[in-house]
């Protein structure tokens, strides 16, 4: 890639974090921050169009593919899922209790047999 940041004159690497000005010029994220905020400049370093920090498109990543995180649409789905989860958990608890009771009964039966054998 043959594009350079006009502030520090370094070329962009695939891993660089890049900010874009509203006029379409690209700079290192940090270089542009320094230019606009630390030096209080109000123009694009490249073409001198007047810009404000709010107009900067921050953090363009050249390399990483667009993040496609799937956010569940609407809150309804997740609350329904939560309900289902709670129902399942209740069922598991019930099973556990039944298991324990069965074990207890089994123990009692064992003890009973033991007494009988004596
Ligand atoms: Zn730079
Ligand atoms: Zn520009």
Tell me the per-residue pLDDT of 90-101, one tens digit each, with 9 for 90 and over: 888 888 888 888
Q: Is the pLDDT of residue 103 over 90?
A: no
69: CA distance to ligand 1 center in Å? 30
7: CA distance to ligand 2 center in Å? 12
41: CA distance to ligand 2 center in Å? 13
- Tell me, what's the pLDDT at 118? 64
In angstroms, rounded to a whole number, what is the distance separating the alpha carbons of residues 31 and 8?
A: 7
Q: Count how many domains the chain has.
A: 2
Ligand nearest to the backbone CA of 11: 1
Whether 77 is in a domain gets the answer no
Whether 95 is in a domain gets the answer yes
Tell me the per-residue pLDDT of 41-82, one tens digit each, with 9 for 90 and over: 999 999 999 999 889 988 777 665 544 455 555 556 777 888
Mean pLDDT of all residues belonging to the chain = 83
Whether 4 is in a domain gets the answer no
Q: How far apart are the first and last CA of the chain?
A: 91
In angstroms, rounded to a whole number, what is the distance separating the alpha carbons of residues 72 and 78?
A: 7
Residue owning tokens 């370093």: 45
Whether 45 is in a domain gets the answer yes
Comparing C-alpha atoms, which of 16, 52, 23 is closest to residue 35? 52
Whether 5 is in a domain gets the answer no
By residue range, what is the domain housing residue 26?
17-61
CATH of the domain at 55: 3.30.40.10
- Tell me, what's the pLDDT at 7? 95
Whether 96 is in a domain gets the answer yes
Whether 75 is in a domain gets the answer no
- pTM for the predicted model, two decimal places: 0.50
- Tell me, what's the pLDDT at 64? 53
């Amino acid at each position: 890639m043959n594009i350079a940041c006009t502030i520090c004159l370094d070329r962009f690497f695939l891993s660089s974090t890049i900010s874009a000005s509203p006029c379409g010029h690209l700079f290192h994220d940090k270089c542009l921050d320094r230019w606009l905020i630390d030096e209080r400049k109000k123009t694009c370093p490249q073409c001198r169009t007047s810009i404000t920090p709010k107009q900067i498109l921050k953090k363009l990543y050249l390399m990483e593919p667009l993040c496609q995180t799937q956010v569940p649409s609407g809150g309804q789905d997740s609350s329904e899922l939560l309900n289902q989860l709670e129902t399942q958990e209740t069922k598991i608890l019930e099973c556990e209790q039944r298991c324990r009771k069965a074990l207890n009964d089994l123990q009692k039966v064992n003890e009973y047999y033991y007494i009988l054998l004596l």
